[in-house]
């Protein structure tokens, strides 16, 4: 976790790394870290969004709830998941599973790799804004530990709505920002080609975000997916242990302070 | 709003009217309503700056709205200014210009207000301050308003108007969404009322947080309400979207707004809502 800090990468290189096609899929990640994953579908309101995968699994002999954004593997899957951009029903499914975890006292682990909430006609019609807003509101008082790991792109409100719990970690090659560097450059300089420059200004790298206390820490990454899973597992097990030692009230006070400081 | 007029003597009203007329001379031009495209003489918009043809409420400053909305107001956090956390190039210049145009130090005006005898915490976002974007000060003022309202056991009314998160403050803008939401939840847990009034435009991170968290969500007629921008949607799905996709009327039909209220009726309707929640409810006894 320390040695990555002296291998200096530019922000643009980190962005490229975060978007690398070699990143693990949601299922590979979940099965690489947890045992007995049992997938649960549907938001109980309007549908089942393939861009969010969730269910129950085992970690360190404990029952836990796992949620992950899913970009899909085949071309067809990628169409179905809108390249990993969740619809409102995806965010509603995530919230349903988080509430279910609370009821049964299970900690929640959320893995985020999304360019953002899906911007589409159907998404607007189904209340994308409302879905994100509700997650922020409700998750602020869910009485079980919620640990998020950003393992690729962490795009704006669509990532925040899955990273607003107690602890947020990022893998070495990942990013977390208010919008894409291209969008940022287009809006501010009317020139999306200045994305590399924007990436520097935006402070979207794990290192910068750790310094600003937006995240709790950085998980080293290697080409071996197995090793990445092992590193993530080690980190989140430790986090789970610490957070589960807190009373529900202590947990919620700490969670409030975590965002109140900004 | 009747009360507002009654408070002034006839003489005062004339002075005010005359002064305004004077200011209008150079800008007393024909303008087009951005919604129905009707040509209008500026004067025809009246006190509420509303299109007489389609009821669309023009974008006004927070202080202009305040003038006809409340009977009493004590401002909070008026001096709070952003620290420019990213040292963003030319940001300060932009801020200075917005400060001159709005008489605010950031994109929201907050305080404790009264309509008649109903006291409440009030926030009004100003679409003229860097497109009403939400920066760290916006977030801090809103959070503080909710915390203050919780302490004083007051309802909160927020008028939203925003292009979304403030790009110049990057990730810190994004964090405000979670910070405000947690404060909204604490306020709500005490059985206190929160009303949002969506004004033109309410989009992005503001829609995706406190705008959509009201117990009661009102909107002015024909305002733009959405999460993603129309251009972004069209570029993503490679097809044109209907012009009315993000009109308040469509969003209401889809089930995300309680009611659309004309600007001239807002004060009275809000007073009624405040009054009806201040007594007789199960929680507030
Ligand atoms: Zn009109």
Average pLDDT over residues B232-236: 87
Residues of chain A with pLDDT under 50: 1-3, 5
Nearest-10 Cα torsion for A223, A227, A233, A236: -50
- Chain A residues with beta carbon closer than 8 angstroms to that of B210: 133
Q: Do A119 and B181 touch (CB under 8 A)?
A: no
pLDDT at A68: 98
Among B88, B184, B185, the residue with its CB nearest the CB of A201 is B88
- Chain A residues with beta carbon closer than 8 angstroms to that of B237: 120-121
Question: Model confidence over B134-157: pLDDT tens digits?
Answer: 999 999 999 999 999 999 999 999
Interval between CA B160 and ligand 1 midpoint (Å)? 21
Position B28 confidence tier, pLDDT thresholds 50, 70, 90: low
- Alpha-carbon distance of A252 to B18, in angstroms, equals 56
> SS3 of B49, please?
coil
H-helix or E-strand containing B92? Answer: helix B91-102
Average pLDDT over residues B71-80: 98
Position B279 confidence tier, pLDDT thresholds 50, 70, 90: low
> SS3 of B109, please?
strand
Among B173, B175, B213, the residue with its CB nearest the CB of A133 is B213
| A10-260 is a CATH 3.30.365.10 domain | no
pLDDT at B20: 42
Among B171, B204, B241, the residue with its CB nearest the CB of A121 is B241
Position B66 confidence tier, pLDDT thresholds 50, 70, 90: very high
- The answer to whether the CB of B132 falls within 8 A of the CB of B163 is yes
Q: Give the domain B60-281 fold.
A: 2-enoyl-CoA Hydratase; Chain A, domain 1 (3.90.226)
- Alpha-carbon distance of A109 to A64, in angstroms, equals 8
Say if residue B243's pLDDT is above 80: yes
How much is the pTM?
A: 0.86
CB atoms within 10 A of CB A61: 6
- Alpha-carbon distance of B231 to B49, in angstroms, equals 28
Q: Do B167 and A187 touch (CB under 8 A)?
A: yes
C-alpha distance from residue B199 to each of A126, B70, B196, B242 (Å):
20, 17, 9, 20
Give the start-to-end residue ranges of the domains of chain A: 10-260
Give the start-to-end residue ranges of the domains of chain B: 60-281
Task: Confirm or reject contact between A120 and chain B (CB < 8 A).
Answer: yes
- Chain B residues with beta carbon closer than 8 angstroms to that of A130: 207, 212, 256
Lowest mean pLDDT among A46-60, B12-26, B111-125, B218-232: B12-26
* Phi/psi of residue B23, nearest 5 degrees: -65, -30
- Chain B residues with beta carbon closer than 8 angstroms to that of A114: none
Q: State whether the Cα torsion A182-A183-A186-A187 is positive or negative.
A: negative
Helices (H), A81-155: 88-103, 121-125, 128-139
- Alpha-carbon distance of B158 to B147, in angstroms, equals 14
The question of ipTM being above 0.85 is answered as: no
Task: Confirm or reject contact between A199 and chain B (CB < 8 A).
Answer: no
Say if residue B159's pLDDT is above 80: yes
Let me know how many helices (H) and strands (E) chain B has, helices first.
Answer: 10, 9
pLDDT at B19: 41
Say if residue B22's pLDDT is above 60: no
Angle (nearest 5°) at CA B194 between B190 and B200:
160
Q: Do B241 and A179 touch (CB under 8 A)?
A: no
Say if residue B8's pLDDT is above 50: no
Report the mean per-residue pLDDT for chain B: 88
């Amino acid at each position: 976790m320390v040695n990555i800090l002296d291998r200096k990468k530019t922000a643009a290189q980190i962005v490229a790394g975060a978007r690398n096609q070699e990143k693990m899929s949601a299922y590979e990640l979940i099965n690489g870290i947890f045992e007995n994953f049992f997938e649960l579908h549907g938001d109980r309101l309007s549908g089942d969004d393939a861009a969010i995968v969730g269910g129950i699994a085992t970690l360190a002999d404990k029952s836990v709830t796992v949620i992950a954004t899913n970009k899909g593997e085949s071309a067809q899957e990628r169409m179905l998941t809108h390249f990993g951009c969740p619809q409102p029903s995806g965010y509603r499914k995530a919230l349903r599973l988080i509430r279910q975890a609370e009821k049964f006292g299970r900690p929640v682990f959320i893995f985020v790799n999304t360019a953002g909430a899906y911007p589409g006609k159907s998404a607007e019609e189904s209340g994308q804004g409302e879905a994100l807003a509700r997650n922020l509101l409700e998750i602020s008082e869910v009485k079980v530990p919620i640990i998020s790991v950003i393992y690729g792109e962490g795009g704006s409100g669509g990532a925040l709505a899955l990273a607003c719990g107690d602890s947020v970690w990022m893998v070495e090659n990942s990013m977390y920002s208010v919008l894409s560097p291209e969008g940022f450059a287009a809006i501010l300089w009317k020139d999306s080609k200045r994305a590399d420059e924007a990436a520097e200004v935006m402070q979207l790298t794990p290192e910068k975000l750790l310094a600003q206390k937006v995240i709790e820490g950085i998980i080293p990454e290697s080409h071996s997916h197995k090793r990445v899973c092992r590193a993530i597992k080690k980190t989140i097990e430790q986090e789970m242990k610490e957070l589960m030692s807190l009373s529900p009230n202590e947990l919620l006070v700490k969670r409030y302070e975590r965002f109140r400081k900004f | 709003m009747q009360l507002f007029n009654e408070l002034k003597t006839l003489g005062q009203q004339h002075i005010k009217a005359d002064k305004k007329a004077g200011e209008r001379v150079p800008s007393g031009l024909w303008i087009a309503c951005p919604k129905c495209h009707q040509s209008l003489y500026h004067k025809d918009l009246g006190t509420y700056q509303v299109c007489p043809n389609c009821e669309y409420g023009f974008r006004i400053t927070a202080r202009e709205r305040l003038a006809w909305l409340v009977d009493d107001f004590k401002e909070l956090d008026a001096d709070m200014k952003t620290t420019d956390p990213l040292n963003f190039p030319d940001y300060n210049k932009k801020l200075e210009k917005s400060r001159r145009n709005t008489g605010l130090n950031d994109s929201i005006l907050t305080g404790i207000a009264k309509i008649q005898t109903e006291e409440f915490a009030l926030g009004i976002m100003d679409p003229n301050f860097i497109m009403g974007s939400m920066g760290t000060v916006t977030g801090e003022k809103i959070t503080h308003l909710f915390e203050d309202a919780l302490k004083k056991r007051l309802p909160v009314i927020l008028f939203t108007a925003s292009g979304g998160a403030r790009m110049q403050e990057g990730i810190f803008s994004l964090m405000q969404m979670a910070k405000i939401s947690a404060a909204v939840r604490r306020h709500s847990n005490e059985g206190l009322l929160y009303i949002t009034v969506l004004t033109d435009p309410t989009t992005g991170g503001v829609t995706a947080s406190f705008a959509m968290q009201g117990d009661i969500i009102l909107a002015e007629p024909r305002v733009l309400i959405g999460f993603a921008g129309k251009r972004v949607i069209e570029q993503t799905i490679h097809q044109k979207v209907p012009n009315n996709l993000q009109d308040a009327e469509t969003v209401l039909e889809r089930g995300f707004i309680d009611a659309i209220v004309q600007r001239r009726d807002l004060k009275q309707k809000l007073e009624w809502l405040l009054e009806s929640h201040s007594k007789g409810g199960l929680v507030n006894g």
